[in-house]
Amino acid sequence: MATGSAIDAGTVANMRDLGGIPLSGAGPGRVVRPGVVLRSGPLDRYDAGADPDVAGLGIRTVVDLRTHEERAGAPDVLPEGARLFVADVLGDRPDLPAARLPILLDDPAGADRELGGGRAEELMTRAYERMVRSPRACSAFCALLETAADPAARPVLFHCTAGKDRTGWASTVLLTLLGADPAVVEREFLSVNPAVREAFRPELRRFEAAGGDPEIADAVVEVRPRYLEAALRTVTEGWGDVTGYVRHGLRLPDAAVRRLREGLVAPGSRA
């Protein structure tokens, strides 16, 4: 049960190619086409000289899912020849934990006031539910999928601040739409945890050294099955399934869905 492939990138955290993920719903042996849709953390530290493998990917479009405040604090450094497309998922709710992860980890006392007493996981779960329902988020995810559907825009790299919540949900929607089964989708969603913890290791150490609650840190840095379950439950309650969510919630045109499937689904390698 394959997941995306981690890309060895010293200056871009949590970078993954979704290529090779099996798409049983698209037909026997079908997989996501390698090298056309990638996910990551932010590109503010990207260095082409230090990361020639990233430079060699030929990325044409970077889709930034972060808020204005996040982008201003850590603007992307684009690969040569790439254009930037902003699809702000949480612009109407910049107070949600996903948009404030570095701030929360830098303020243990504030994190405890906001998320302590066992509230961290519950608030993260509610944040996923709001992210699915929010008209602003729906518009942003629609824009991302329309970009990925455009052959001239690919290869596409999309990201947020950690590459796990907004980016994780976008990956879930895309993979489901292409035909990945639920177990494969969940595996990819959860697979980023080691890379995210590594990327935030200095902040986590400082947070705990200053008296921060490790459970708070774990709840905001990790993705958990409960978060994905909450998002999918919200989809089911509002639109029936992911296809209905994409069509009626995101309002992605059927023609764009066809282009996604035509461009991103490929035969798997024959071992």
Pick the CATH number of 5-267 from 3.30.470.20, 3.90.190.10, 3.40.50.12780, 3.40.50.700: 3.90.190.10
The model's pLDDT over 140-182, given as tens digits with 9 standing for 90+, comes to: 999 999 999 999 999 999 999 999 999 999 999 999 999 999 9
What is this structure's pTM? 0.94
SS3 of 221-254: the string is HCCCHHHHHHHHHHHHHHHCCHHHHHHHHCCCCH
In the prediction, which pLDDT does 142 show?
98
In the prediction, which pLDDT does 270 show?
46
> Which of 226, 249, 115, 112 minimizes the C-alpha distance to 173?
249
Token reading at 21: 């993920």
The model's pLDDT over 185-206, given as tens digits with 9 standing for 90+, comes to: 999 999 999 999 999 899 999 9
> Treating both helix axes as pointing N-terminal to C-terminal, what angle do 201-209 and 214-221 enclose, rounded to 10 degrees?
160
**Residue 64, beta-bridge partner list:** 86, 159
Give yes or no for a contact between 68 and 88, defined as CB atoms under 8 angstroms apart.
yes
What are the C-alpha distances in Å from 168 to residues 16, 188, 220? 11, 8, 14
The model's pLDDT over 213-227, given as tens digits with 9 standing for 90+, comes to: 999 999 999 999 999
- How far is the C-alpha of 203 from the C-alpha of 199, rounded, in Å? 9
Domain boundaries, the chain: 5-267
In the prediction, which pLDDT does 99 show?
67
